[in-house]
Structure 1
Amino acid sequence: MKGFKETEGIRRLQLDSGKNIVFKRDLNVQNISWRYLESEQDVLHNLNLKISKGQSIGIIGQSGAGKSTLADIILGLHIPQQGRVEIDGINIFQIPFEYSRVIGYVPQSIYLVDGTVKENVAFGLEEEKIDDNLVWQALQRARLDGFVRECEAELDTILGERGVRFSGGQRQRLAIARALYRQPQILVLDEATSALDNETESAVMDAIEGLYGSITMIIIAHRLTTVKKCDDIYEIKNGIAVRRDKSELFTS
Structure 2
Amino acid sequence: MNDKNSKLIEEIQFMIRTIRSVRHVNFYFVLSIALSILITALEAIGLISIVPILQFLGSDPLHGSDSFLSPFFDLLKNDAGVIDIKKVALFVLFVAILKSTFVFISGIVGGYIPVMMKAGAVRSLLKMHLRSNLINLMQYDTGAWTSVYYRFIDQLCSIVMSVASSITQALLLALYGGIMFAMSPYAVMLTLLFVVVLWLTTRWMTDRQGRIGRQITDAATSYQQAGLQMISGMRLVQTVAGEDRMEEWVAGKLHTFVKFHYKAITASSIMQPITTVASGLFVASLLFFGDSLFSGKETDWLGSIILFVVVFYRMLGPATGLYGVRITIAQLWPALQKVKMFFELCSRSQLSFGDRDLGKSPSFDISISGLNFGFADTPILQDINLSIPSGSMLALVGESGAGKSTLANLIMRLYPTSAGQISIGGVNISEFSRKSFAENVGLVSQDTILFNDTLKNNFLFVQPDATEAEIWEALKKAKADQFVEELEQGLDTVIQEGGSRLSGGQRQRIALARALIRPKQILILDESTSQLDAFSEAVVQETITNLHGTTTLIVIAHRMSTVRKADAVAVLENGRVVEFGTPNQLLMEDTMFRQMIEFQQVSPA
Q: TM tier, shorter chain?
A: 0.7 to 0.9
Identify if the C-alpha distance between structure 1 residues 81 and 114 changes in structure 2 by more than 3 Å, giving closer, same or farther: closer
**Structure 1 position 135, deviation (Å):** 1.7
Are 1:172 and 1:204, in contact at CA under 8 Å, matched by a contact in 2?
A: no
**Structure 1 position 191, deviation (Å):** 2.2
Q: Which amino acid aligns with 2:427?
A: I
Structure 2 residue corresponding to 1:232, chosen from 559, 562, 568: 568
Whole-angstrom CA distance in 2 between matches of 1:225 and 1:182: 26
Structure 1 residue corresponding to 2:410, chosen from 48, 73, 88: 73
Deviations 1:215-240 (A, max 9, x none): 21111112222212222211013543
Which range moves more in the overlay, 174-183 or 102-111? 174-183
1:115-126 alignment, distance < 5 Å? 115-123=453-461
1:213 corresponds in structure 2 to 549
Are 2:401 and 2:574, in contact at CA under 8 Å, matched by a contact in 1?
A: no
Whole-angstrom CA distance in 1 between matches of 2:514 and 2:529: 16
Are 2:393 and 2:553, in contact at CA under 8 Å, matched by a contact in 1?
A: yes
1:32-43 alignment, distance < 5 Å? 32-39=371-378, 42-43=379-380
Are 1:143 and 1:207, in contact at CA under 8 Å, matched by a contact in 2?
A: no
Higher strand share: 1
2:442 corresponds to 1:109: no
Structure 2 residue corresponding to 1:148, chosen from 470, 479, 484: 484
Identify if the C-alpha distance between structure 1 residues 95 and 189 changes in structure 2 by more than 3 Å, giving closer, same or farther: same
1:84 corresponds in structure 2 to 421
Identify if the C-alpha distance between structure 1 residues 112 and 220 changes in structure 2 by more than 3 Å, giving closer, same or farther: same
**Structure 1 position 168, deviation (Å):** 2.5
**Structure 1 position 210, deviation (Å):** 3.9
Structure 1 residue corresponding to 2:438, chosen from 97, 100, 111: 100
1:6 corresponds in structure 2 to none
How well do the aligned residues superpose, as a CA RMSD in angstroms? Answer: 2.9
**Structure 1 position 145, deviation (Å):** 3.0
Whole-angstrom CA distance in 1 between matches of 2:475 and 2:402: 33
Larger Rg: 2
Whole-angstrom CA distance in 1 between matches of 2:463 and 2:562: 32
Are 1:57 and 1:219, in contact at CA under 8 Å, matched by a contact in 2?
A: yes
1:4 corresponds in structure 2 to none
Whole-angstrom CA distance in 1 between matches of 2:498 and 2:409: 25
Whole-angstrom CA distance in 2 between matches of 1:214 and 1:206: 14
Whole-angstrom CA distance in 2 between matches of 1:157 and 1:215: 31
2:390 corresponds to 1:53: yes
Structure 1 residue corresponding to 2:502, chosen from 150, 166, 182: 166
Are 1:169 and 1:200, in contact at CA under 8 Å, matched by a contact in 2?
A: no
2:583 corresponds in structure 1 to 246
**Structure 1 position 143, deviation (Å):** 3.0
Whole-angstrom CA distance in 2 between matches of 1:166 and 1:90: 41
2:521 corresponds in structure 1 to 185
Could you say what secondary structure the match of 2:491 adopts? helix
Whole-angstrom CA distance in 1 between matches of 2:360 and 2:509: 26
**Structure 1 position 201, deviation (Å):** 4.3
1:176 corresponds in structure 2 to 512
Identify if the C-alpha distance between structure 1 residues 44 and 164 changes in structure 2 by more than 3 Å, giving closer, same or farther: closer
**Structure 1 position 200, deviation (Å):** 5.4
Identify if the C-alpha distance between structure 1 residues 214 and 149 changes in structure 2 by more than 3 Å, giving closer, same or farther: farther
Are 1:121 and 1:135, in contact at CA under 8 Å, matched by a contact in 2?
A: yes
Higher helix share: 2
Identify if the C-alpha distance between structure 1 residues 124 and 226 changes in structure 2 by more than 3 Å, giving closer, same or farther: closer
Are 1:23 and 1:185, in contact at CA under 8 Å, matched by a contact in 2?
A: no
Are 2:355 and 2:433, in contact at CA under 8 Å, matched by a contact in 1?
A: no
Could you say what secondary structure the match of 1:69 adopts? helix
2:363 corresponds to 1:24: yes
**Structure 1 position 170, deviation (Å):** 2.2
Are 2:398 and 2:571, in contact at CA under 8 Å, matched by a contact in 1?
A: yes
TM-score normalized by the length of structure 1? 0.78
Could you say what secondary structure the match of 1:35 adopts? strand
Identify if the C-alpha distance between structure 1 residues 215 and 143 changes in structure 2 by more than 3 Å, giving closer, same or farther: farther
**Structure 1 position 196, deviation (Å):** 4.8
Q: Which amino acid aligns with 1:58?
A: A
Question: Which structure ranks higher in relative contact order (CA pairs < 8 Å, sequence separation ≥ 6)?
Answer: 1
Q: Which amino acid aligns with 1:188?
A: I
Whole-angstrom CA distance in 2 between matches of 1:125 and 1:192: 19
Q: Which amino acid aligns with 1:119?
A: N
2:468 corresponds in structure 1 to 132
Structure 2, unpaired ranges of 5+: 1-353, 588-593
Are 1:112 and 1:120, in contact at CA under 8 Å, matched by a contact in 2?
A: yes
**Structure 1 position 107, deviation (Å):** 1.1
Identical columns (%): 37
Are 2:505 and 2:531, in contact at CA under 8 Å, matched by a contact in 1?
A: no
Identify if the C-alpha distance between structure 1 residues 245 and 26 changes in structure 2 by more than 3 Å, giving closer, same or farther: closer
